[in-house]
Amino acid sequence: MWISKLKLLLLVIMFTDGKGKRRNALHDYQKVSEVTLIRTDMSLDIKTKLLNSTELCAKRCSKNKGFTFFCKAFAFDRSTKRCHWLSFSSTSAGVRKKRDFAFDLYEKKEFIRDCIHGKGENYKGTISVTKRGLPCQTWSSMIPHEHSFLHSSYRGKDLRENYCRNPQGEEGGPWCFTTSPEVRHDVCDIPFCTEVECVSCNGESYRGPMDYTETGKECQRWDLQRPHKHKFRPERYPDKSLDDNYCRNPDGKSRPWCLTLDPETPWEFCTIKPCAHSIENATDITTECTRGQGEGYRGFMNVTYSGTPCQRWDSQYPHQHNFTPENHKCKDLTENYCRNPDGEESPWCFTTNPNIRIGYCTQIPMCDVFTAEECYHGNGNNYQGNLATTRLKLTCTMWNENMEELKRLIFRGPDERMLNKNYCRNPDNDVHGPWCYTDNPTIPWDYCAISRCEADPTPPLSKLGDSVHSCGSSKHVRIVNGISTQTGEVWMVSLRYRNKHKCGGSLIKESWILTASQCFPSRDEDLRHYEAWLGVHNIFDKEEKNKQIMNISQLVFGPKGSNLVLLKLSRSAVLTNFVGIIKRPYHDCIVPEKTVCNVYGWGYTGRTNYNGLLQVANLVTIGNDKCNENHQGKIIVNESEICAKSESDPAGTCEGDYGGPLVCEEDKIKLIQGVIIPGRGCATPNRPGIFVRVAYYAKWIEKVLLTYKVQSFS
């Protein structure tokens, strides 16, 4: 099967013009960081010039203008912004590599790789033996075979030495005249780039040189943001080997893929030969606990953290999906066990509840996190371990490089004696544990990959602040058996996916929305498919004049287990009588029992003729102990959650309401006290709704709003 696909691919590549007007010349090069080339043969030519970017260096080398030699590579000195164009590559004689932290080396792929695309007319490697094992005749020689293939007649075809070439683009691929008088010429044994390395399982370990898609489109470099903006930056995913523009599988798709240079096609799968036997790395396989993000978990947990049974992976009911055993061969998607086939934060599953699509299995314990080096007590303000990696696998930066920013964050100033090197610390007494700064421009800081020690209880909310006092903030939800609201809920947001309502949200600042993380199943969602509608009351009414449509530029996921995500808008909302901000509660406040609150949403209403109007339902808060009793011990509500229920007709939240607010009023001020997350069914009698307690995460929200000032995809 893959052979027929390969033939189609080769035909398409032959007729595809991959060098459009805006094509970046860097796509022709293979990069090696912090390396340069040193010539031991001083007859080899070099030319240097000050230029501002590697793109300009590559463009000059590719055009080969102004040189007395053929440019095969360049080294870019980052410290001086100087290009060093080279007449040689790392495969040339009289050359050696040298480690130099100031340089990045870029070599033309056609000179250093021993595989071909299509007919191989651009091949300029060093293979010089035919398929029959015959040595090649030197192109400049007429012995034993006279010919007209001279360097002067085929400029740019690199007819040097006796290397295999295809100067006329013939069907058989690169060839040469042989040194045998009986055999005039023969084709060379050069593999296709699709065959150099095979794909095992889903190809997550594939590190081969394929850089075209299955339809023949050239791949976009991972370190560039044109023509497609994306989050798969090599520095953010250092273990995914996002080299140059080679096909990779950083996000657990069914097989390797790449971004394309076609502006109309963001990405496509690649056609690569499958291995005869799929081999899975057994070092991360666990059965009783999870390690890292739990991608190697192979245990038998088959219910979500809330107790909802999981749907079988080989079933499409009640939820249709592409995570089938056939598509993810090495992910052990057997029966209905919790798994993590796509690199999510933890193992998960589709649920058997038609109204709850996905549930996370965060109740599975983590492996080996309870040593002195790998866990913290309380909120980790006394942690002195040597961990220097965030939960997103970003390397921490030195504290002394970020001291000015940290001093702006901490009123009294940090204790600099505690801030060693780039180790994870908690200098601002963050409720949610140690953190650090990063050098990623879109993620200025993040929490570290470390957990609270075993048997160390979550610090009570009242003990993490100065004292319990009034909240001064508000709440919202989305409703079964609610009534239509008036147009006063100016903070309500309809989050749209492919122009359909998916979740609710709350505008908490002009450019920030608070919602539930379940609305974005992956940290690497393609945000171009999402929109935020503000100022709407009827999501079916296309004529609403007060509607503001916003693009989302960044997701900032909350602390581990929070179920929260903050959305950064691509531009600030314009505040009007129909678009406004809802106030947030203080970080240490507690909502008294029997407080009357409202939830709002556009989700499932329990009616067949839903008219698209924003719905509201009245709920009354109850204490966590009583909430646990109502759930009969199947769910344990903790300090980070708040419960509320209807005192009359069954009313509550459902799919489509998730991410919306639970709004409570204090001193005539509406505050967002909770965020709707998937629960146990929709408005189930005697089952209070469980919401994320916003007050518990108020300091995290404030910290993000103060520090995340850079737009995504900058």
Q: What would the mean pLDDT of 218-243 be, rounded to a whole number?
A: 89
68-81 tens-digit pLDDT: 998 999 999 998 99
371-454 is a CATH 2.40.20.10 domain: yes
Considering only CA atoms, which of 291, 412, 305 is closest in space to residue 363? 305
Helix count (H) and strand count (E) of the chain? 7, 29
Q: Residue 714 pLDDT more than 50?
A: no
| Lowest mean pLDDT across 26-35, 547-556, 652-661 | 652-661
- Model pLDDT, residue 259: 97
492-569 is a CATH 2.40.10.10 domain: yes
CATH of domain 25-111: 3.50.4.10
| Residue ranges with strand state E in 241-288 | 257-259, 267-269
584-593 tens-digit pLDDT: 998 878 888 8
Q: Residue 331 pLDDT more than 70?
A: yes
- Model pLDDT, residue 448: 93
Which residues, at least 6 apart from 176, have a Cβ–Cβ distance to it below 8 Å? 128, 130, 136, 137, 139, 162, 163, 164, 165, 185, 186, 188
Most confident region among 6-20, 229-243, 443-457, 695-709 by mean pLDDT:
695-709
- Model pLDDT, residue 386: 87
Q: Which residue has the tokens 């189930």?
A: 684
- Model pLDDT, residue 610: 66
| Lowest mean pLDDT across 171-175, 178-182, 265-269, 282-286 | 282-286
113-138 tens-digit pLDDT: 889 988 999 899 889 999 999 999 99
Q: Residue 18 pLDDT more than 80?
A: no
Give me the amino acid identity at 636. Answer: I
Which residues, at least 6 apart from 161, have a Cβ–Cβ distance to it below 8 Å? 126, 128, 138, 139
- Residue 483: pLDDT band by 50, 70, 90 thresholds? very low
Which one has a higher pLDDT value, 362 or 466? 362
- Model pLDDT, residue 474: 35
Distance from C-alpha of 30 to C-alpha of 246, rounded to nearest angstrom: 10
What are the domain boundaries of the chain? 25-111, 371-454, 492-569, 595-701
- Model pLDDT, residue 638: 84
- Model pLDDT, residue 7: 46
- Model pLDDT, residue 692: 93
| Cα angle for residues 316, 320, 325 (degrees, 5° grid) | 60
Q: Count the neighbouring beta carbons within 10 Å of the beta carbon of residue 38.
A: 11
- Model pLDDT, residue 369: 44
Mean of pLDDT over the chain = 84
Which one has a higher pLDDT value, 37 or 322? 37
- Residue 327: pLDDT band by 50, 70, 90 thresholds? confident
| Lowest mean pLDDT across 24-38, 148-162, 430-444, 606-620 | 606-620
Which one has a higher pLDDT value, 479 or 448? 448
End-to-end CA distance of the chain: 41
- Model pLDDT, residue 457: 60
- Model pLDDT, residue 372: 40
- Model pLDDT, residue 634: 67
Q: Do domains 371-454 and 595-701 have the same CATH topology?
A: no
| Superfamily (CATH) of domain 595-701 | Trypsin-like serine proteases (2.40.10.10)
Q: What would the mean pLDDT of 226-254 be, rounded to a whole number?
A: 88
Q: Residue 15 pLDDT more than 60?
A: no
Which one has a higher pLDDT value, 259 or 562? 259
Distance from C-alpha of 613 to C-alpha of 590, rounded to nearest angstrom: 32
Most confident region among 458-467, 524-533, 592-601 by mean pLDDT:
592-601
Q: What would the mean pLDDT of 39-67 be, rounded to a whole number?
A: 93
- Residue 542: pLDDT band by 50, 70, 90 thresholds? confident
Which one has a higher pLDDT value, 12 or 441? 441
339-361 tens-digit pLDDT: 998 777 789 999 999 988 888 88
- Model pLDDT, residue 135: 96
Question: Residue 671 corresponds to which tokens in the numbers above?
Answer: 């505050």
